[in-house]
Amino acid sequence: MIRSLMTACVASLVLGGCSSTIHSSKTSNGDATIDWYAYTKDHKYDNAAELYQLTDSMIRLHGDKVGYLMSKKSYADFELTLEYRWNMDAAVQRGTGKKNSGVMYNVPDTAKDVLWPAGIQFQVKEGATGDFILLENVTLAVRGETKAPGKSVAVARTSEQEKPLGQWNTILIRNKQGSCSQYLNGVLVNEGTNASSKTGRILLQYEGSPIDFRQVVLKPL
């Protein structure tokens, strides 16, 4: 099983026993080593820790540079789980408006680094968490309707399940042979079939709203 994109001690995360050591972009927990990088509008960072804060227990995205973390490898037929919370620390710089981020998947290997590349996004946004965002002409059939391709096409979730600001939320994404299911805090909030992009890389977005991720686990289906 392919384990966490960020941590070398999944068991210790539950107990809160990991250190706060800053890591490079290549991490391992003994099962697999996953390499990733960071990107902003004008620069690619092979060492993601040069831009964002990566520790044994948490990924913390904040600062004045909008961008993302991207896995260097692509994945097919997987289940991805992770937890996120909005960083409410008053000392951390933040943007204005609704808090906004996202978890992208099936980002094609051929997709260039831009804000934002082609792929499917699990929207993480106040009042819209769980929506599909289909980027750069990716298509998906949702509730019997295939949405027309476009630069950024939103498909609303079926229910609101996000917890109050500052609390941890759990995302689960199942992606298999073009079928995509998105769960938030244990509830199925969106699903689709016949995705035009069935495999690809995984991306964590930073859109100016400080956000923390932890317990990132990827396993094959």
Strands (E), 4-131: 26-28, 33-40, 43-45, 53-54, 59-61, 67-71, 78-86, 100-107, 119-125
Q: What is the pLDDT of residue 101?
A: 97
Please choose, from the candidates 51, 57, 86, 48, the residue with its C-alpha nearest in 3D space to the C-alpha of residue 210: 86
CA–CA dist 170, 24 (Å, integer): 25
91-120 pLDDT, tens digit each: 888 777 899 999 999 999 999 999 999 999
Q: Mean pLDDT across the stretch 150-171?
A: 97
CA–CA dist 124, 84 (Å, integer): 9
128-156 pLDDT, tens digit each: 999 999 999 999 999 999 989 999 999 99
Whether 21 has a pLDDT exceeding 70, the answer reads no
40-79 pLDDT, tens digit each: 998 999 988 889 888 767 899 999 899 999 998 999 999 9
Q: Assign 106 to helix, strand or coil.
A: strand
